[in-house]
Amino acid sequence: MRVSFYLRNPKKKGITAIYASLCYNNKRVIVFPGESIDTNNWIIKKNVNKPKPIPENNGLVKRLYEHEQLYKDVYDNLKKTIHDIIEPQTLKDAIYAITKPTVLIDEKSSKPVTIVEFFQTFVDDCKNEIRKTKDDLILNPNSVKAYKSATNHFIAFQKKQNANYLLTDITQQLIKNYTDYLNSKLALNTSAKYLNVFKALIRYAIEKKLLSPSISSEVIIKVRSEKSDNIFLTEQEIKELMTITEFSTPVYEIVRDYFVIACNTGLRYSDISALTIGNIRGDFFETEQIKLKGKQKTVTKVIIPVLPMLKELLSTMF
């Protein structure tokens, strides 16, 4: 069997998933090892697809080799029991049985699982890297936060309904009631976000064999959204914010200051809160933005002019 690794989106700038192509007996299997890389750190030439030989790729190269050996071992073990050509799906299932094992909830007790209980399992499996993206990458922590919020909204919905729903209680009527509840409490786009989480929850329950695959055709979750209005402040309005001197609590003044810095720099709160006097070099901010996608961390140096509006504000903050 020949194992080759390729980029899922080779033309993309930034992080993309890596997939493995397993070829044997004129058959081909695609599996995702759960690895990713910046496209700038990958060599793509005729008959050459591999990570560049640079220090930061050393760990990845080692892991890809281990993945390759695992695939070959699984294939060799299957050949010992299957004395015919191994079907691609059989090989893929055998590999994922090792790399992505499925654990059924309450398998021993066969206890009925409530939706809230499974919501918690859903969140925990995402945090513990058991559930991943379709490309077998670790989920962004911000996505997990949305799942927690979705759990709380469903708990509130149950309380209003005076019910404690099981997974097997998922019907079109339940979906309608939950949709109506979300739409009555939240903006349409926010409601849509939590309905998409509920769809993902159902798919995961099917994957865990806690729901029949037929439910996908039995219930339909209609997700509606609307075009958002982009609200912005003019430079004059931002200056007027700076003229406010009376606050009921010092915290409000700090929030105002951070907001003004964000307006003038485009930095995220997490970047602004980490700024120190050392980040100011003359008339410029110099900072590093860190982004995490999958197992890859990218650090980007950012240089931003310090506009006149900010100079006095920064002098009081640092």
Same domain assignment for residues 126 and 189:
yes
Do 197 and 130 lie in one domain? The reply is yes
Q: What is the pLDDT of residue 174?
A: 92
150 SS3 class = helix
Which of 251, 255, 232, 237 lies closest to 309, judged by CA? 237
pLDDT at 110: 54
Query: Could you tell me the CATH number of the domain that includes residue 198?
Result: 1.10.150.130
Beta pairing, strands 42-45 & 36-38: unpaired
pTM of the prediction?
0.51
Helix (H, G, I), strand (E, B) or coil at 35: coil
Chosen domain end from 66, 99, 132:
99
Total structural domains in the chain?
Answer: 3
Q: Is 29 a member of any domain?
A: yes
Regarding whether 43 and 79 lie in a shared domain, the answer is yes
In-domain check, residue 104: no
Q: Is residue 14 part of a domain?
A: yes
| Coil vs helix vs strand at 77 | helix
Same domain, 170 and 195: yes
Which pLDDT value is given to residue 238? 85
In a domain, 106, yes or no: no
Domain presence at residue 307: yes
In whole angstroms, give the CA distance from residue 233 to residue 7. Answer: 42
Q: Is residue 105 part of a domain?
A: no
Amino acid sitting at position 257 = D
- Widest CA span of the chain, in angstroms? 82
The answer to whether the CB of 104 falls within 8 A of the CB of 167 is no
pLDDT for 217: 72
Burial class, 205, CB count within 10 angstroms (exposed 0-12 / middle 13-18 / buried 19+): buried
Does residue 94 fall inside a structural domain? yes
Tokens of 63: 């892991």
Query: If residue 298 lies in a helix (H) or strand (E), which one and from where to where?
Result: strand 296-305
Range of the domain at 171: 115-218
| Residues linked to residue 30 through DSSP beta bridges, in sequence order | 21
CA distances, 98 to each of 70, 74, 93, 102 (Å): 9, 9, 9, 9
Query: Going by DSSP bridges, is the β-strand pair 36-38/15-24 parallel, antiparallel, or unpaired?
Result: antiparallel
Among residues 99, 123, 145, the one where a domain terminates is 99
Burial 243-269 (b: 16+ CB within 10 A, else e): eeeeeeeeeeeeeebbebbebbbebee
User: What's the pLDDT at 297?
Assistant: 60
pLDDT of residue 107: 46
Residue that is written with structure tokens 């993945």 in the block:
67
125 and 212 belong to one structural domain: yes
Whether 124 and 203 share a structural domain: yes
158 shares its domain with 195: yes
Of the candidates 36, 33, 43, the residue with the CA atom closest to the CA atom of residue 69 = 33
pLDDT the model gives residue 318: 64
pLDDT of amino acid 135: 72
| In a shared domain, residues 242 and 273 | yes
Residues 6+ apart with CB under 8 A from 250: none
Residue 110 lies in a domain: no
Q: Does one domain contain both 127 and 159?
A: yes
The two three-digit tokens of residue 237, written as one number: 């309005």
Instruction: Tell me how many helices (H) and strands (E) the chain has.
Output: 11, 9
Closest CA to 69 of 8, 129, 22, 30: 22
- Digit-by-digit pLDDT tens for the chain (318 residues) are 999 999 988 888 888 888 999 999 999 999 988 888 889 999 998 888 999 999 989 999 999 999 999 999 999 999 998 888 899 989 988 998 887 755 444 444 456 889 999 999 999 988 888 888 777 777 777 788 889 999 999 999 999 999 899 998 898 889 999 999 999 999 888 999 999 999 999 999 988 888 888 787 778 888 887 776 667 788 888 888 888 888 888 888 888 888 888 888 888 777 787 777 778 887 888 887 766 555 556 677 888 888 877 777 777 766
